[in-house]
């Protein structure tokens, strides 16, 4: 059989294109902001993970420009060899301090962070236990490891305990969960996860890609939100969301960080974060530290939007974060509604299986701290016209 037979037989994208409802790869012609120019028309952006709106913050932009001028365009090597800048170390130290951990390790992308952390920590004979709604990068990190992956139903603590109770005593065990789940916007039951981890001798890793800058004291994330910073062993996050850049990180004890630096293949064999991206992440982190009111304001705007949808009779999936999913149920209907929203001037993200269960498709809306109530009202009114 020809290896490319599967490519020739792949037809779903073409079907959606022919129906005029293909939703992907719309081209931006402006900055990532609350209002964007996309394919020649103004759109209100309710589909970005730029939670704090720092992609347009002047001090953050200036930091990137200065790094270009000082260091050039790239590092041309792995952190393990010639690719470590003093600024990488500075970013790691300030990140670790911010989330109240001993150390931190930076990776070239958020996806790569989960690959690099899990594959380094989970070895042959170990177990990694995952929430079924964890991000795809966690799943791939588990596949890259030599351990055995076990999954529990979303936020089902009874099933998690059942799984933990069956793991051999001599095996290492790592529970991995999203802090804020990227599609539903709900928050992991971290208090119970930590309790069970302590009971069964497991370690806890939280993917805080959508938690940093969003929840917790000053935006410190899920562990801070629950007051469990001393109970979580590993925090993973990204720079591509609240920190307005590109890259990812792990924060943990210094011994764990040092082990990962010397055993993580995705870390050792990848070029380091470019100077400009590193400088932007560092400037964004400092801006967040200087403005702890930003996550609070973001939460207030999200609550305002949530109330607006409810007042207009739009069914939403409940959450306490700036991710508000709107129910659209079937896949084709979801794509049609996403197109209608887009044509009416609001960009949202359609969420289809396997990211949702069949019949529970969503339009994922997400919010920035730089939005105004007037823009939210305009977007919610458009959603009501399209969905009701």
Q: CA 322 to CA 301: how far, in whole Å?
A: 8
What are the pLDDT digits (tens) for 78-130? Answer: 999 999 999 999 999 999 999 999 999 999 999 999 999 999 999 999 999 99
Q: CA 225 to CA 349: how far, in whole Å?
A: 27
Mean pLDDT of 18-31: 95
Q: CA 220 to CA 215: how far, in whole Å?
A: 7
* pTM summary value: 0.96
pLDDT (0 to 100) of residue 357: 83
The answer to whether 317 and 185 have CB atoms below 8 angstroms apart is: yes
Cα Dmax for the chain: 60
CATH 3.90.1150.10 region(s) of the chain?
Answer: 11-45+292-387
CATH code for the part of the protein at 58-290: 3.40.640.10
- For residue 120, which of 237, 270, 264, 313 has the smallest C-alpha distance? 264
Q: CA 253 to CA 258: how far, in whole Å?
A: 9
What are the pLDDT digits (tens) for 164-189? Answer: 999 999 999 999 999 999 999 999 99
pLDDT (0 to 100) of residue 355: 83
Average pLDDT, the chain: 97
The answer to whether 206 and 179 have CB atoms below 8 angstroms apart is: yes
- For residue 98, which of 207, 235, 280 has the smallest C-alpha distance? 235
Beta bridge partners of 175: 129, 204
Q: Torsion-angle region of residue 39: left (phi > 0), alpha (psi -120 to 50) or beta? A: left
Q: CA 92 to CA 49: how far, in whole Å?
A: 22
Distance of CA 117 to the CA centre of its chain: 16
Catalytic positions, written as ranges: 182, 210, 241
Dihedrals φ, ψ of 61, to 5°? -60, -45
What are the pLDDT digits (tens) for 212-241? Answer: 999 999 999 999 999 999 999 999 999 999
CATH 3.40.640.10 region(s) of the chain?
Answer: 58-290
What are the pLDDT digits (tens) for 38-81? Answer: 999 999 999 999 999 999 999 999 999 999 999 999 999 999 99
Residue 356 has pLDDT above 90, yes or no: no
Q: CA 366 to CA 46: how far, in whole Å?
A: 5
What are the pLDDT digits (tens) for 251-299? Answer: 999 999 999 999 999 999 999 999 999 999 999 999 999 999 999 999 9
Positive/negative CA dihedral, 9, 15, 21, 26:
positive
- Does an H or E element contain 94, and which? helix 86-98
Residue 354 has pLDDT above 90, yes or no: no
pLDDT (0 to 100) of residue 119: 97
- For residue 325, which of 333, 313, 316 has the smallest C-alpha distance? 316
Residue 49's Cβ-side half-sphere holds a number of Cα atoms within 13 Å equal to 22
- β-pairing, 127-131 vs 173-178, is parallel
Architecture of domain 11-45+292-387 in CATH?
A: Alpha-Beta Complex (3.90)
Q: Secondary structure of the chain: what % helix, strand, coil (to 5)?
A: 45, 20, 40
Local structure of 368: helix, strand or coil: coil
pLDDT (0 to 100) of residue 368: 98
pLDDT (0 to 100) of residue 156: 98
């Amino acid at each position: 059989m020809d290896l490319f037979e599967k490519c020739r037989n792949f037809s779903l994208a073409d079907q959606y294109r022919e129906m005029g409802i293909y939703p992907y790869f719309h081209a931006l012609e402006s900055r990532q902001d609350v209002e964007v120019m996309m394919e020649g028309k103004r759109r209100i952006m309710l589909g970005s993970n730029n939670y704090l709106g720092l992609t347009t913050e002047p001090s953050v932009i200036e930091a990137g420009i200065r790094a270009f001028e000082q260091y050039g365009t790239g590092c041309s090597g792995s952190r393990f060899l010639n690719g470590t800048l003093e600024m990488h170390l500075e970013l790691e130290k300030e990140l670790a301090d911010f989330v109240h951990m001993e150390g931190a390790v930076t990776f070239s992308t958020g996806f790569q962070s989960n690959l690099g952390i899990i594959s380094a920590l989970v070895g042959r004979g170990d177990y990694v236990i995952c929430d079924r709604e964890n991000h795809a990068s966690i799943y791939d990190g588990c596949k890259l490891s030599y351990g055995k992956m076990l999954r529990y139903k979303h936020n089902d603590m009874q099933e998690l305990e059942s799984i933990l109770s069956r793991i051999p005593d001599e095996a290492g065990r790592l529970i991995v969960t999203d802090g804020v789940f990227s599609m539903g916007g709900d928050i992991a039951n971290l208090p119970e996860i930590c309790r069970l981890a302590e009971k069964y001798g497991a370690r806890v890793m939280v993917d805080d890609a959508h938690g940093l800058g969003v929840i917790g004291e000053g935006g410190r994330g899920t562990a801070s939100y629950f007051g469990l910073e001393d109970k979580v062993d590993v925090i993973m996050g990204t720079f591509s969301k609240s920190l307005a850049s590109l890259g990812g990180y792990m924060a943990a004890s210094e011994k764990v960080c040092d082990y990962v630096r010397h055993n993580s293949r995705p870390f050792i064999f990848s070029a380091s974060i470019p100077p400009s991206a590193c400088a932007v992440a560092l400037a964004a982190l400092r801006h967040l530290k200087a403005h702890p009111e930003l996550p609070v304001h973001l939460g207030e705007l999200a609550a305002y939007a949530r109330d607006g949808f409810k007042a207009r009779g739009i069914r939403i999936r409940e959450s306490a974060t700036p991710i508000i999913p709107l129910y659209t149920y079937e896949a084709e209907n979801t794509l049609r509604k996403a197109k209608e929203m887009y044509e009416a001037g609001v960009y949202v993200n359609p969420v289809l299986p396997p990211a949702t269960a069949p019949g529970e498709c969503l339009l994922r809306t997400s919010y920035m701290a730089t939005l105004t109530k007037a823009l939210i009202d305009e977007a919610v009114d458009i959603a009501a016209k399209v969905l009701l």
